[in-house]
Structure 1
Amino acid sequence: MGDQKSRVNVHSVLTQVSSRPSASDETYPLTRLDHAMGHHTIHVIFYYEKSPFGSFDMDPIRVTLSEVLSSYPPVTGRLTRDDAGNWAVKCNDAGVRVLRARVGITLDEWLRSADGNEERDLTVWEDMPEVPNTWSPFRIQAFSEAHHGQAITFPPFFKPPAPPDRKFSVNNSKSTSYLEAKLQKQTPSVKMSTATFKFSDSVVKQCLSEIHDKCPDASPFDLLAALFWIRVVHLKGPKHDDHTHSLSLCVDFRRLLQEPLPYGYFGNALNFSLLSLNEEEMDCSMLGRVAELVHCHVSGLKEEEFWATLHWLDLQKEEGGKYAPPFAMYGPEFTCVSMEHMIIGDQPVMYSMNFDSAKPVHVSCHVGNAEGEGLILVMPSAEAGLARTVMVTLPEEETAKLCEDQSILHLKPTMLLRSI
């Protein structure tokens, strides 16, 4: 799209408050993981074939939103610092921003012609100012259940996980060794672009059957993480240092703990770990083997790794109890995020957001400030079964090459929001 004017026209900004005030003196401290990931933001976009706002009259929706916000007091609060200098949300009922915009083309035209960078205009994000006491860190959350008079399926749970009585050593933890190394790395500044690939249920099933002898328990995530890792390594060309290729794997831990966190946990339960393979293992013809290694790594992650990471973050505190400055979590290494936790039973949660009996036809998720070697998000898809959507963010030239990669095109993905 170059420097041409955005087709997203934001014409009004509203502030929506909750229908019932919260306790004005209540605060929610941000967790250790929240502080560590302070460089990053999350932007989720739901696409519907029919506008959930009817004739653009948002009044009925705003009434419902007010009710929902009453259950999420941190969303309507503002960021502040505690006595140690750490971030917390002050629940002062200041409200959440609601932005109204128009795009003068149809949904199909947008998905075919917009690129990943232009799509970010739909999130209309603004950087946090130096003094954030009047700045809203949240935009609209999904609230379709309440709009239809239904109970919230996964009610919010705000209490962060409490560590078990036993202690966890950081010395033998793979995750903490990896995070320690991250602190020493610099993230190169390059222009990034994004492309989206949608793989059908039948194609994913066929690919899993083809690698069954190598990895009989492979999940769609194992398969697609291995495929895109191999192809990106191939297009980047041979390495000239230690001939080792590394992939940072990000998984959600809320259901993997001995005392699982509720699905409605309103917080951060992500864990990053590193898988490294040599060039022989990354050979283009060994998809099944790489998928097996990804599967063994992810399924072998234990609760101890999660707690050891939190303990390590505590050890990085400055004198007085202030958390260390944030650093690049989604990078600088090539990073792959599993969103399999967003599928409960066989239902992808993000595609159950009903408006007037219509479900999203597509959901995008962007991670702010994901730089370095690149990022892959393996997400649920609108199609039932094993269908998956893969969003890839790479340096601009590499994105263009990946979109022409025959090993990926052979699987006949639907390509959306491709950067030009």
Structure 2
Amino acid sequence: MPAAAAAVAAGLATGPGSRVTRFAKSTAASVTPVRPGKTHTLSPLDNAMERHTAHVVLYCRAAPGLDREQLKESLSEVLSLYPAMTGRLTRREGGEGAPADAEPAQRGWVVKCNDAGVRMVDARAAATLDEWLATATGDEEMDLLYYEPMGPEPYIWSPFYVQLTEFADKSYALGLSCTHIHNDPTAAALFFQAWAAAHRRTTSTYPPFLHAPAFEVSPASPPPPPPLLAEKSSAASPASADAAAMSSATFHFPEPAVRALLSSLEPGTTPFAALAALFWLRITGGAAGGERELTLALDFRKRMYAPLPWGYYGSVVHFTRARADLASGLPAVAAALDAHVAGVPEEDLWRAVEWLHARQQQQEAGAAGPFQMYGPELTCVALDHVPMYGAEFEAGAPPARVSCHVGGAAGEGLVIVLPAAEGGEARDVVVTLPAEAMARVCRDGEVLRHGAQVVFGTKAGKEA
């Protein structure tokens, strides 16, 4: 093998015993060139996510119009709607990309829309889709995603990676990985809607909305820090060894199981609050915990007075801290979470945006660095309202499953509540915890008693 090919193969390698083989890397370019000099400014919320990545896997069953070359063709077509995806990150600090007297709101990371393209990886899995869903672990699922961290030269680094994995039955896993600076999990998931529409040669239900001027704040004076963000910014980051010890599993709750769970709680309890409370209690051993706090990550697109379209390209994640007495039991804890979510004022989001903007200016002056937003404390993400299953690459054939992960969430753990394929009140819950705690939760009697089916568990959990 030539030296260059060997280097590429080494970079694409999966772990020992993996059923996924990556065999090629290429670049997907837009079919429509971007006008010279076009840039895309990132908001303070975007810039705050420098430590994190977003990863979405879409599982599609075999269909006559679903093959590797057709998927690549439609990807190039849809990238014409997303010029920022094919661009490269650069700093606007008076050098390349902006004058020295640039307005503060224009500083930080900015995207040069230069048509450099999106990195693509081709792969095959030695299993049918059904075999994979029945036997794969959460860690194996990460083999369906490919990502390279930003190096010392961001202007040549691709912020987006797409992996096309073909199963033995001609089904596909479409894996999208990107820096959270560009997109939050909602935006990453809904990109598939536009891709699927391009594949069917129709118009997307959620076209990209690329600019929100309201986020370009410039406060007259530095605002006081929101307590939660102040605490996060001063917290020590988990060691890299701790980050490597994290493990993931997905729990599927069929609609009858969620309905049974809700029937045991206070009337009006939402599925999100019920499942967030259940996992909070089981992860922390909450019966003896007393009053505790849980960080919630809420998508604020539709919670704003002037709501943003679903297709907004960027981050609109607001972090807020809920409090409950864990010794009071599941019904009371779920009710406390629902009450907190319903009562988060929009003003809290704007205070966070203003403070992050002011801190961004300090960061550029060397006075502050990026910090961990998801964690290190236990964090629960509400995504079960996001219409993830409308990405039909073949009309009438929704995805068999959609999975979502957030990188850089080391610490106590991350719980993501998602919609499930069958719709209604069914939910999937993707849990990332330290490996030992993850194995314990996969075997937890209370979680299983409430109807959870472990889809992507740990090896220990599956053996149990």
TM-score between both structures, scaled by the size of structure 1: 0.88
Q: 1:118-144 CA distances to partner (integer Å, 9 max, x unpaired)? A: 211211111111102222111345211
- Cα distance between partner residues in 1 of 2:223 and 2:39: 34
Q: Secondary structure at the match of 1:364?
A: strand
- On the 8 A contact 1:252/1:341 being kept in 2, the answer is no
Are residues 20 and 374 of structure 1, via their aligned partners in 2, closer, same or farther at CA, if it must alter by over 3 Å? same
Match of 1:345 in 2: none
* CA positional deviation for 1:187: 3.4
Match of 2:441 in 1: 402
- On the 8 A contact 2:48/2:370 being kept in 1, the answer is yes
Are residues 401 and 315 of structure 1, via their aligned partners in 2, closer, same or farther at CA, if it must alter by over 3 Å? same
- Cα distance between partner residues in 2 of 1:164 and 1:74: 17
Match of 2:378 in 1: 334
Match of 2:282 in 1: 231
* CA positional deviation for 1:102: 0.3
1:262 to 298, 303, 309: 309
RMSD across aligned positions (CA): 2.6
Where in structure 1 are there 5+ consecutive unaligned residues?
343-348
Are residues 206 and 57 of structure 1, via their aligned partners in 2, closer, same or farther at CA, if it must alter by over 3 Å? closer
Match of 1:111 in 2: 133
- On the 8 A contact 2:219/2:358 being kept in 1, the answer is no
Are residues 164 and 360 of structure 1, via their aligned partners in 2, closer, same or farther at CA, if it must alter by over 3 Å? closer
- On the 8 A contact 1:49/1:107 being kept in 2, the answer is yes
- Cα distance between partner residues in 1 of 2:158 and 2:363: 28
- On the 8 A contact 2:363/2:369 being kept in 1, the answer is no
* CA positional deviation for 1:35: 1.5
Where in structure 2 are there 5+ consecutive unaligned residues?
1-13, 95-106, 163-190, 460-464
- Cα distance between partner residues in 2 of 1:71 and 1:218: 39
Instruction: Determine whether 1:197 maps to 2:251.
Output: yes
Instruction: Determine whether 1:62 maps to 2:100.
Output: no
Instruction: Determine whether 1:351 maps to 2:403.
Output: no
Q: Which structure 2 residues correspond to residues 53-132 of structure 1 after superposition, within 5 A? A: 54=66, 56-58=67-69, 60-83=70-93, 86-132=108-154
Match of 1:138 in 2: 160
Are residues 320 and 353 of structure 1, via their aligned partners in 2, closer, same or farther at CA, if it must alter by over 3 Å? closer
If each structure's helix is expressed as a fraction of its own residues, which one has the higher value? 2
Instruction: Determine whether 1:306 maps to 2:353.
Output: no
1:178 to 215, 225, 228: 228
- On the 8 A contact 2:58/2:402 being kept in 1, the answer is yes
Opposite residue 23 of structure 1, the aligned amino acid is R
The count of residues paired between Structure 1 and Structure 2 equals 398
1:316 to 359, 376, 380: 359
Are residues 38 and 275 of structure 1, via their aligned partners in 2, closer, same or farther at CA, if it must alter by over 3 Å? same
Q: Which structure 2 residues correspond to residues 200-279 of structure 1 after superposition, within 5 A? A: 200-212=254-266, 216-234=267-285, 244-277=291-324
Match of 1:33 in 2: 45
Q: Which structure 2 residues correspond to residues 7-46 of structure 1 after superposition, within 5 A? A: 7-46=19-58
* CA positional deviation for 1:74: 0.4
Instruction: Determine whether 1:291 maps to 2:318.
Output: no
- Cα distance between partner residues in 1 of 2:371 and 2:405: 18
* CA positional deviation for 1:170: 8.9
- On the 8 A contact 2:293/2:323 being kept in 1, the answer is yes
* CA positional deviation for 1:282: 0.5
- Cα distance between partner residues in 1 of 2:230 and 2:309: 30
Q: Secondary structure at the match of 2:301?
A: coil
Q: Secondary structure at the match of 1:97?
A: strand
- Cα distance between partner residues in 2 of 1:249 and 1:146: 34
Q: Secondary structure at the match of 1:70?
A: helix
- Cα distance between partner residues in 1 of 2:345 and 2:213: 16
Are residues 393 and 319 of structure 1, via their aligned partners in 2, closer, same or farther at CA, if it must alter by over 3 Å? closer
Q: Secondary structure at the match of 2:392?
A: coil
* CA positional deviation for 1:24: 2.0
* CA positional deviation for 1:320: 9.0
Opposite residue 390 of structure 2, the aligned amino acid is S
Opposite residue 186 of structure 1, the aligned amino acid is A
Are residues 272 and 366 of structure 1, via their aligned partners in 2, closer, same or farther at CA, if it must alter by over 3 Å? same
Q: 1:255-288 CA distances to partner (integer Å, 9 max, x unpaired)? A: 11111111110011110011233xxx202x6211
* CA positional deviation for 1:3: 6.2
- Cα distance between partner residues in 2 of 1:352 and 1:335: 27
Opposite residue 338 of structure 2, the aligned amino acid is H
Deviates more, 1:288-297 or 1:352-361: 352-361
Instruction: Determine whether 1:155 maps to 2:202.
Output: no
* CA positional deviation for 1:419: 1.6
Are residues 322 and 166 of structure 1, via their aligned partners in 2, closer, same or farther at CA, if it must alter by over 3 Å? closer
1:188 to 209, 231, 238: 238
Q: Secondary structure at the match of 2:90?
A: strand
Q: 1:364-404 CA distances to partner (integer Å, 9 max, x unpaired)? A: 11111111111000000001210000011111111111111
